[in-house]
Structure 1
Amino acid sequence: MIEFINVNKTYTNNIKALQNINLKINQGEFVAIIGLSGAGKSTLLRCINRMHDITSGKIMMNQVEVNAIRGSDVRKLRKRVGMIFQSFNLITRTTVLKNVLVSFVPELTLWRKVTGVFTKGQKIKALTALDQVGILDKAYVRVNQLSGGQQQRVALARTLAQNPEIILADEPIASLDPVTSRHVMDDLKRINQAMNISVIMNIHHVEIALEYANRIIGVREGQIIFDGNSTEVTPVVLKHIYGDSTEYKVNENTGETAYV
């Protein structure tokens, strides 16, 4: 489904965000990318939908070279690849339904874009997406009246309305409390399993990554240093990914891992 071939990304300040990335992700996988802040997790994720352009190498998606496409083809790619952000990226002063309908704006005719009139079919898709994440009853409520968890579910519904093949989630629970975080993660897992949508998630919460993802990719200084099943992640592996950072520690007596 997605393949990175010798991918490098260097920013204008000569920082090497990604170094020689070779990676294959198949349709329907639930992948968590973990590592320290600044390790290159977000860059790796955002290169998939061309939010960042790579410096060299290739990214392939279903035999299409992602880094070679231009113009309308990029927009078509982003319709297939949904994106969920830590900050939700919602229009807070309008209704939940209108926020989900935003996903259809690129395919509207000019007069519909000007008037803001959506088709019946688009409205049905939007309402169905809201039902899939359990907030259909909030369709006509303004977004700024919702909790953080409900807002993230609106963002997820907006992505589902696109009928994507892949969902990229960039720190989707970073601003949520533990209970709400699990509700959002339950939604992502259910959608992944029931709809065979690939989920690729960048996350700091290692314990959540190990619980929900089937595959873990560990990134350090722009390089993949671990790629395997979540059951293969041991304290030794985590120490290899995080090093001696004070951000993440392994208790040598109990084997438990935690942020400090």
Structure 2
Amino acid sequence: MIEFKNVEKIYSNNVRALQNINLTINQGEFVAIIGLSGAGKSTLIRCINRMHDITSGQLFVNGMEVSSLKGGEIRKFRKRIGMIFQSFNLVTRMSVLNNVLVSFVPELPFWRKLTGVFPKEYKIRALSALEQVGILDKAFVRVDQLSGGQQQRVALARTLAQNPEIILADEPIASLDPVTGRQVLNDFKRINQEMELSVIMNIHHVEIALEYANRIIGVREGQVVFDGKVEAVTQEVLDYIYNSHSKEGLATSEGETVHV
């Protein structure tokens, strides 16, 4: 479970990226975070795994207060949280398999890091992760020979090899064409359902968010202005999330919506 309690994030230039965030995300949920560019979507996601430190409030992941972690505790904590980026973050001149194996490097003794020799168990985990995303046949192909969608699947396999409890995805299909983007999100959805992994996705494509997620969080000017089931998202809700000039609150429905 992820729990934000009165979380604020203020950058060094005094930009208030997050304001009074109060959220609870349960294990196994598929959550899409939507809103205008600069609304605070990426910041919200990146606070969960300590890529960004919060300025005030409390943030808990499975009962652990994230801001209190230090040094090795942070590295150990991040192993439980997979992060998928828009840019894939792959080494394109290496094989698919080796890109997945990279996720195990921090766990290796020094001599294995020098030689690049991975234990058999790690190779099995890496190959299993590639099979989960349907590209096992590409294991020994160089990444630069793959399509964009296949590269994003390699990034997802690298994350799955870590056996995470949570997957954070920051605009995972922004650089993909619509057909390929849906194929990648089909993988996310299947993994979410089969493995009961929490998936928290920051995304610009509203129609895709509504199709794949179970829950929508709308962010505007650093504040959560909507939090509810997909079925509760109306045009009025979307207009409120995306119209920064609107100052009228949303009508609530059975606690599904939140307004400021």
Secondary structure of residue in 1 paired with 2:124: helix
2:34 pairs with 1:41: no
2:115 pairs with 1:120: no
- Give the aligned partner of residue 140 of structure 1: 140
Runs of 4+ with >6 A deviation: none
Cα distance in 1 for residues equivalent to 2:172 and 2:219: 18
- Give the aligned partner of residue 130 of structure 1: 130
Deviations 1:130-163 (A, max 9, x none): 0000000000000000000000000000000000
- Give the aligned partner of residue 248 of structure 2: none
- Give the aligned partner of residue 109 of structure 2: 109
Secondary structure of residue in 1 paired with 2:83: strand
* Aligned length, in residue pairs: 245
Report the TM-score, using the length of structure 2 for normalisation.
0.93
Deviations 1:88-112 (A, max 9, x none): 0000011000000011011111111
Cα distance in 2 for residues equivalent to 1:149 and 1:132: 15
Q: Which amino acid aligns with 2:41?
A: K
Deviation (angstroms), 1:244: 6.4
- Give the aligned partner of residue 16 of structure 1: 16
Cα distance in 2 for residues equivalent to 1:132 and 1:155: 12
Cα distance in 2 for residues equivalent to 1:221 and 1:227: 15
Deviation (angstroms), 1:190: 0.0
2:20 pairs with 1:56: no
- Give the aligned partner of residue 204 of structure 1: 204
Cα distance in 2 for residues equivalent to 1:135 and 1:5: 40
2:75 pairs with 1:79: no
- Give the aligned partner of residue 157 of structure 2: 157
Secondary structure of residue in 1 paired with 2:191: helix
Secondary structure of residue in 1 paired with 2:32: strand
Cα distance in 1 for residues equivalent to 2:214 and 2:63: 24
Cα distance in 2 for residues equivalent to 1:77 and 1:144: 31
Q: Which amino acid aligns with 1:44?
A: L
Cα distance in 2 for residues equivalent to 1:15 and 1:80: 30
- Give the aligned partner of residue 28 of structure 1: 28
Cα distance in 1 for residues equivalent to 2:102 and 2:57: 33
- Give the aligned partner of residue 254 of structure 1: none
Cα distance in 1 for residues equivalent to 2:61 and 2:241: 27
Secondary structure of residue in 2 paired with 1:216: strand
- Give the aligned partner of residue 68 of structure 2: 68
Deviations 1:219-245 (A, max 9, x none): 000000000001100000000000168
Cα distance in 2 for residues equivalent to 1:94 and 1:17: 37
Cα RMSD, aligned residues only? 0.8
2:220–2:244 Cα contact (<8 Å) kept: no
Structure 1 stretches lacking a partner, 5+ long: 246-260
Cα distance in 2 for residues equivalent to 1:129 and 1:165: 15
Secondary structure of residue in 1 paired with 2:42: helix
- Give the aligned partner of residue 193 of structure 1: 193
Cα distance in 2 for residues equivalent to 1:55 and 1:115: 42
- Give the aligned partner of residue 227 of structure 1: 227
- Give the aligned partner of residue 217 of structure 1: 217
2:86–2:172 Cα contact (<8 Å) kept: yes
- Give the aligned partner of residue 2 of structure 1: 2
